[in-house]
Amino acid sequence: MENTKRLERFLRTVLTVCLLLLAGLTPVWWRQEHPALPAATAEAEETPEASPAPVDLYALRYREAETAAEAGLLAEALAVWEELHGYADSAARAEDCRARLYESAWELLLRRELCDAASLLRPLGDYRDSLRWLRYCERHQYDGPVGGRDYESFGVFYRPKHGQGTLYTGSLGLFYIPDETGPETQTLLYFPGGSDLGLHRLNTDAAAEYVERYAPDAVCLFAWESGFHIIEEHNLSCWYYLESLLRACALIPHEIVLVGTSNGFYAAERMALQLWDEEGLPVRALLSLDAGEDWGETELLLDSEELSRLAQAGPRLELFEQRKFKSEREVIQNLLRAGLAVDLIECDNGDHETITVYAFRLGVLSWALGECGLNEQQYKLTELKLAEKTGGGG
């Protein structure tokens, strides 16, 4: 009986030791009886188990952004890098991501893929001009079919083929479409002078000669008239018409040039402000072809607050005037006070009527588009500066 009890105790001991060994523990009495065991086994019982190293959440999020960027998910990557608030080089990576997003959005814009472009512009916030182009996308992404180059609804052939494009006649004027259009194709709108009473309407021969000789890489609308008595309404009609032409060519309006002859400049100037206020679209150049004495009709000119807004749109004003024109006039100085860049181009080629004819003939419109130089024998360009006030005082 005694032997049986000893056997049971022995077996329980063996079982306990086995279980402890399996659990990674060694009882003290066992270590005392078995001093040959490694010291690390003894330390395991006396030293508490080490806590796991803390997780670097910023590093994890940084790696998430890297993975997203490598997969081309730039918007997702940008959102994470912005959350990291300058961790490591996250600020620089976020800026690089914005640049890549903007470049991709611009490529889509130039193909008038407005829905896709808007999805890339939204995460960019106020980066560069993203908000303005996002506004444009949201206003026009559902305007209608894009491309097709079907102009039957806009007008008919004006004459046989002109240069590298075609001139059509439509309800609001002559319009010109290059044979090939692409990302570099610009937008031009011209207003003739006159008061819409049948006088000084568009010189169709001059417009036709211009596109045949210079073949501008621009969708052009040469309006029949200036809309003198209903400028804003007429401007909007012309712009919606031109916008439809651009949509048919799968283009957006960028690098816009506006031109006005005589009091047609009132329409061009007002159009530049309307495009900025209503569409957020900047104008590259604003040309006046011998506004001359018409600068005196101040009720049609922009006031100081409107001129300040126009300056934000960034057009450069090019004033083609006769030699006797005085740039010190208050109306011209007001343009400069508003912060607008203004050039005076003195013309050798004649009177009020011929300034416009020569502007078409000598490629002034293409010069404004940046496609050719200015004829230095006929034109003298001077950048205007704000006149210093003079006067006595004691």
Whether residues 226 and 367 fall in one domain:
yes
One domain, residues 192 and 273: yes
Round the average pLDDT of the chain to a whole number and report it: 81
d(CA 107, CA 245): 20
Could you tell me the residue range of the domain that residue 370 belongs to?
A: 155-383
Is the pLDDT assigned to residue 111 strictly greater than 50? yes
Q: What percent of the chain has pLDDT over 90?
A: 41
C-alpha of 299 from chain center: 33
Question: Does residue 219 sit in the same domain as residue 291?
Answer: yes
Assigned domain for 52 exists: no
147-169 exposure pattern, b = at least 16 Cβ within 10 A, e = fewer: eeeebeebbeebeeebbebbbbb
Residue 163 pLDDT: 66
CA diameter of the chain: 139
Q: Are strands 341-347 and 379-383 parallel, antiparallel or unpaired?
A: antiparallel
214 shares a domain with 110: no
Both 181 and 293 in a single domain?
Answer: yes
- Is 269 inside any structural domain? yes
Region 305-325: mean pLDDT is: 91
- Determine the Cα–Cα distance for residues 100 and 167; give it in Å rounded to an integer: 38
In which band, very low, low, confident or very high, does the pLDDT at 22 lie, cut at 50, 70 and 90?
Answer: very low
Per-residue pLDDT, 220: 95
Helix (H) or strand (E) segment spanning residue 26: none
| 165 shares its domain with 103 | no
Query: Domain ends where: 114, 140, 166?
Result: 140
Check whether residue 238 and residue 325 sit in a common domain. yes
- pLDDT of 317 > 90? The answer is yes
How many CA atoms within 13 Å lie on the side-chain side of 233? 3
Q: 178 in a domain, yes or no?
A: yes
* Tally of structural domains, the chain: 3
Give the 3-state secondary structure percentages of the chain, helix then strand then coil, rounded to 5.
Answer: 50, 15, 35
Q: Please report, for the domain that includes residue 250, its CATH number.
A: 3.40.50.1820
107 and 217 fall within a common domain: no
List, in order, residues 6 or more apart from 91 with CB less than 8 Å away. Answer: 81
118 — pLDDT class (breaks 50, 70, 90): very high
pLDDT in tens, 204-252: 889 999 999 999 999 999 999 888 888 999 999 999 999 988 988 899 9
One domain for residues 121 and 171: no
Mean pLDDT across 316-338: 89
Confidence of residue 66 (pLDDT cuts 50, 70, 90): confident
Are 320 and 278 in a shared domain?
yes
Q: Can you give the pLDDT at residue 187?
A: 96
Q: What percent of the chain shows pLDDT beyond 70?
A: 76
> Is the Cβ–Cβ distance between 176 and 216 less than 8 Å?
yes
393 in a structural domain: no
Least confident of 89-103, 140-154, 264-278: 140-154
In a domain, 390, yes or no: no
Is 150 contained in some domain? no
DSSP conformational letter for 296: G
Instruction: Give the domain-ending residue among 75, 106, 140.
Output: 140
**Residue 37, domain member (yes or no):** yes
Give the pLDDT confidence score for residue 299 in this predicted structure: 75
Cβ atoms 110, 83 nearer than 8 A = no
Q: Based on the domain organization, do 310 and 361 belong to the same domain?
A: yes
Same domain, 109 and 191: no
Assigned domain for 222 exists: yes
